[in-house]
Amino acid sequence: MESLIPVAIIERKILVIRGKKVMMDADLAELYGVETRSLVQAVKRNIDRFPSDFSFQLSPEEFESLRSQIVISKGKGGRRYPPYAFTEQGVAMLSSVLNSQRAIQVNITIMRVFVRLRQMTANHRALAGKLTELEDRIQDHDEQIIDIFKAIRRLMTPPVKPKRKIGFDLKETRTRYGIKKFQGTGKRSI
């Protein structure tokens, strides 16, 4: 089944704040097709469903930092209060609060993106563990490995070409300027 919103768009809207992967209220409202204030009102009416590990409001310092990072307007048309951030569980809870067909479909796609990101993180951790293990093994054969890497780098380095001069070179002989004697008169001209 095709999702309403491309996965790449959702991935770009996931931020890390306070060490948690979150989505901002304005981004979620845009995805759900509702106004931000409507989404926030629905959350406030059902505040028991959103404990601090599901959603939280940014501090003024966090909001200012976010504003400067993504260039949010400070003028009259901009936000006057710090936004809400929703964790994966908070986003899942939003589908029950908003209760529209679009919200359900968008939520399914967002949940799949969060799962995919979690799998990618696990894969990166596994790779980092393997690299650490490899580094520990290499410690014993340090000099041999370093020599191999030096040889590989020498082979990979392109030969140094002499730099060309900017401009052009004249290949003809130089004309002499200076004092010239007229034939027969003994007078000089410059």
Q: Which residue has the higher pLDDT, 40 or 111?
A: 40
User: In Å, what is the CA distance from 70 to each residue of 12, 66, 74, 131, 185?
Assistant: 12, 6, 12, 34, 85
CATH number of the domain at 26, please.
Answer: 3.10.260
DSSP code, position 35: -
CB distance 7 to 110 below 8 Å:
no
Strands 55-57 and 84-86, sheet pairing? antiparallel
14 within a domain of the structure (yes/no): yes
Residues in the chain: 190
Query: How confident is the model over 127-131, as a mean pLDDT?
Result: 68
Residue 35, pLDDT > 60, answer yes
Residue 21: give the domain boundaries.
Answer: 7-127
184 within a domain of the structure (yes/no): no
Q: Tell me which amino acid residue 95 is.
A: S
- Give the pLDDT score at 188: 58
Q: What is the 3-state secondary structure (H, E, C) of 147-185?
A: HHHHHHHHHHCCCCCCCCCCCCCCCCCCCCCCCEECCCC
Residue 76, pLDDT > 60, answer no
189 within a domain of the structure (yes/no): no
Residue 77, pLDDT > 60, answer no
160 within a domain of the structure (yes/no): no
Tell me the Ramachandran region of residue 166: left when phi exceeds 0, alpha when psi lies from -120 to 50, beta otherwise.
beta
169 within a domain of the structure (yes/no): no
Of 129, 24, 143, nearest to 85 by C-alpha is 24
Distance CA 78, CA 36 (A): 12
Q: Which residues on adjacent β-strands are paired with residue 20?
A: 17
User: In Å, what is the CA distance from 186 to each residue of 101, 117, 176, 190?
Assistant: 109, 95, 20, 13
182 within a domain of the structure (yes/no): no
82 within a domain of the structure (yes/no): yes
Number of domains into which the chain is organized: 1
Of 41, 21, 47, nearest to 81 by C-alpha is 41
| Per-residue pLDDT band at 134 (split at 50, 70, 90) | low
148 within a domain of the structure (yes/no): no
Query: How confident is the model over 89-118, as a mean pLDDT?
Result: 80
Q: Tell me which amino acid residue 72 is.
A: I
